[in-house]
Amino acid sequence: MAFDLVIKNGTIVDGSGQARYRADVGVKDGRIAEIGRIRENGAESIDADGMIVAPGFIDGHTHMDAQVTWDPLGSCSCWHGVTSVMMGNCGFALAPCKPEDREWYARCLEAVEDIPTEAIMSGVSWDWETFPEYLDAVGRAPKALNHGSYIGHSALRMYVMGKRALDQEATEDDVAKMAAMVADAIQAGALGFSTSRSPTHVTPDDTPVASRIGGWDEIDRLVAPMTELNAGIFQLAPDVTSGASQEAFFEQVRRIALESGRPIMFGTIASRQGKDPKPWQFHTKYLDETVAMGGRMYGQATTRSINALFSLKSNLPFDLLPTWKEVRALPLEEQKRRLADPETRGKLIAEEAQMKPRGFEFQGGGAATTNPLRPDYTNLIVMQGVDWDDPTVDDLARSANKNPVETMIDLMLANEDQIFIQPLVNENPEDVLGLLKHPRTLATFSDSGAHVCQEMGSSLPTHLLNYWVRLRQEFTLEEGIRMLTFDNASAWELPDRGLVRAGFAADLVIFDENGIKPAMPTVAADLPGGAKRLIQKAEGIAATVVNGAVTFVNGESTGNYPGQLIKGRLAS
């Protein structure tokens, strides 16, 4: 056979969890054609001697809905071995959307997902109105990754109800129209229907997003088309409160799982130190019980804490304080000069006392950077590497007998790229490990495309392989790869991805198992309109292949954009 691509001499970790083996992989017409000893050369060949050849990683929770229209690379996921991403999570999608609602909806996305309105309005092509038209636009867009999408509840409500969606119950006519649009979306290729019940999801006016106004009766009606069509996943951002409210939420979701027969996909399951420190065990109890009763239910587990990242070049916790606000409006070099000035420094340190203490209050969405609480310096990490063994600001302040704010200023003056990490949830690595080892959770939830100047979840796959597989040795490499590939492909019902198998799509990543890890994050002003975002690349990945075409070599784009629109079963 004349192969398009042959990967020779590699060690295959095939995604199943079974033991690795040495073999060549032949690729033809975008698919794996042969595995074994291949003597022919392909039109293109890669020598993978000493490298692992694995299925491309699958990220089931992103917000790349806007980014896919302006960024063909799919950064930063593309640098971490990811080959397929799912969008439209938490009820937020870019369609359906009427022209007159675009700016308001973009502002809502900024409030919840920290995606700048300016970037959305200037970067998105907006050559669609309905959800099927949006899928067509994604399909046409040049892209290095495969993209699939849910249809989102907030977008549906806004499209059908206009501003009534933000404060009124839907009428019977409203619900009927929305249900018909869900059915159309599933038949056009949507992965499913998504919503949010999270109290952290608010509009720019600090009111609930549209999906949170709809009651459970409305949600039942919008899940019903998936039951009738026997297709689609119900994804939702959970109630992150505690006590009776959260228990009532889980009871409703379990009821839907059992009555609808459709898979339920939660956003991340999380714990917070000091307040319900083990709520993930409360959450997973419902997963286990629902499955035992015959339902299908999954929770998503991050591979580390979810954080707010602060730096001189992006956001700092103090930016809304008067003197800080004045200094931070200056060019970078002038900021550094003012930070070094003793009089200014004294004011900056004194103003920190005005901030509301962090305590156990949870901040989600964009609020962690746009309206921050006082840092918890005992848990504010001074990022010096990617192995998660760095000191805290409190550690360094005590050793130098300095104020924590002064310590941060000194660190930033010594290194203008210094990044500070404030864990928001899943602060305890042992909680993260417990979640990752639970049989009903999935290693995903990067939020890629969102929280662009706050968090860098795109590195979750490489963090898993570096920290939990190589450093902590809590998982074998075979287990870690299965978690990132076949487990996710199975949950999202992707029948031909997630394994190195003949006949499967040739989505592959080739890497050094002893060298794969995230690189240090940096700040770049490369969003449409010049807005800033965090960038994080990876080390140790030799090549990435998507649908048979090499997309990245040693972290550099080849200029190939073979990504496809991932469609649900009815439209596949």
Q: What is the pLDDT of residues 468-495, one digit of tens each?
A: 999 999 999 999 999 999 999 999 999 9
β-strands 52-55, 508-511 pairing: antiparallel
Q: How confident is the model at residue 409 (pLDDT cuts 50, 70, 90)?
A: very high
Q: Tell me the two tokens of residue 186.
A: 């599933």
Pick the range with the lowest mean pLDDT from 133-147, 351-365, 531-545. 351-365
Residue 274's pLDDT is: 60
Mean pLDDT for the stretch of residues 92-120: 93
Distance CA 73, CA 143 (A): 6
Q: Tell me the two tokens of residue 147.
A: 């993209």
Q: How confident is the model at residue 35 (pLDDT cuts 50, 70, 90)?
A: very high
Its pTM stands at 0.96
Mean pLDDT for the stretch of residues 454-480: 98
CATH class label, 57-305+426-567: alpha beta
Mean pLDDT for the stretch of residues 233-239: 94
Residue 271's pLDDT is: 78
Mean pLDDT for the stretch of residues 313-330: 96
Pick the range with the lowest mean pLDDT from 63-77, 153-167, 266-280, 291-305. 266-280
**What percent of the chain has pLDDT above 90?**
87
Work out the angle at residue 369's Cα, subtended by the Cα atoms of residues 265 and 408, and round it to the nearest 5 degrees: 125
Residue 526's pLDDT is: 95
Closest CA to 522 of 259, 313, 285, 219: 313
Closest CA to 183 of 130, 141, 137: 130
Q: Tell me the two tokens of residue 475.
A: 């998982």
Cross-strand partners of 438: none
Mean pLDDT for the stretch of residues 346-367: 74
Residue entry with tokens 């399951």: 269
Closest CA to 543 of 47, 100, 36, 41: 47
pLDDT above 70 (res 326): yes
**Which residues, 6+ apart, have CB-to-CB distance to 458 below 8 Å?**
59, 75, 76, 77, 79, 80, 82, 446, 448, 536
Distance CA 340, CA 355 (A): 22
pLDDT above 80 (res 256): yes
By the 8 A CB rule, do 154 and 490 touch? no
Residue 369's pLDDT is: 53
Q: Which residue has the higher pLDDT, 453 or 417?
A: 417
Q: How confident is the model at residue 245 (pLDDT cuts 50, 70, 90)?
A: confident
Q: Tell me the two tokens of residue 85.
A: 């991403």
Q: Judging by beta carbons within 10 Å of its beta carbon (0-12, 13-18, 19+), is residue 215 exposed, middle or buried?
A: exposed
Q: Tell me the two tokens of residue 457.
A: 């979840």
* Every domain of the chain and the residues it spans: 57-305+426-567, 309-421
**Which residues, 6+ apart, have CB-to-CB distance to 173 below 8 Å?**
none
Phi, psi of 77 (to 5 degrees): -55, -35
- 518 prior amide bond cis, ω within 30: no
439 SS3 class: coil
Residue 194's pLDDT is: 99
To the nearest whole number, what is the mean pLDDT of the chain?
A: 95
pLDDT above 60 (res 362): no
Mean pLDDT for the stretch of residues 293-301: 97
By the 8 A CB rule, do 153 and 211 touch? yes
Distance CA 45, CA 42 (A): 6
